[in-house]
Amino acid sequence: MCVLSGVIARREQGFTLLEALTVVAILAFVASLAVPVFSAAKARYLDMAASDLAQALRFAHAEAVRTHIAHGVHLDEDDTRIRLYRYDTAIDYGVHHPLRKQPYEILYESVGNPVFVASKSLKFKNLSINYQTNIAFAGGSGIPGSSSVGASEPLEYAYFVLQYGEQKRTVSLSSIGGRVDIQ
């Protein structure tokens, strides 16, 4: 015991229950403010990823109409990469992004992009669902179809479901005119 100015000082060994509850209440309040912000950020990030895919489909369609050479979109087997290609006599992945001037591709489930392709459904006339991973837009007309060897089969429907956390966006490609929608 130490006596200073007539007051007995004691050594404190921890926090009182009131202090601990106050800190927990403040942390809970701050966390409740942060959760909606993170949720909104996920939605914006997912919207951007869906927009990127829609723009890639629209760009391939526009290039096919403009150049009269078939252009298409290829989704890798593991659904982690989408690449644009030109289809003259063989598939050529030399299509470049108009602004970045680099090969036009979108990477999913990578370091900078946690969005992933949750599911896809590609259906071409006379082919089984998801048989193809390519969608080709016919040169000149831009009509979407398969890019299989031999005769190209017309597209019946194409859906890509992108997911980030619990949120999802669907990018669909219409068989008539190559219209792209995001839902």
Query: What beta strand segments (E) does the chain contain?
Result: 2-4, 7-9, 70-75, 81-87, 91-92, 105-107, 116-124, 134-137, 144-145, 155-164, 167-173, 180-182
Q: What is the pLDDT of residue 176?
A: 83
Strands 81-87 and 91-92: antiparallel
Would residue 166 count as lying in a domain? Answer: yes
pLDDT tops 70 at residue 134: yes
Which DSSP symbol is given to 51?
A: H
Do the Cβ atoms of 172 and 183 come closer than 8 Å?
A: yes
The pTM of the full predicted model, rounded to 2 decimals, is: 0.74
Q: How confident is the model at residue 92 (pLDDT cuts 50, 70, 90)?
A: confident
Host domain of residue 166: 15-182
Could you tell me what percent of the chain has a pLDDT over 70?
85
In a domain, 50, yes or no: yes
Q: What total number of domains does the chain contain?
A: 1
Any domain includes 6: no
Average pLDDT of the chain, as a whole number: 82
d(CA 66, CA 128): 31
Model pLDDT for residues 12-44, shown as the tens digit of each residue: 677 788 888 899 999 888 877 766 656 677 788
Q: Is residue 115 part of a domain?
A: yes
Q: Average the pLDDT over 67-83 and give the result.
A: 87
pLDDT at 12: 62
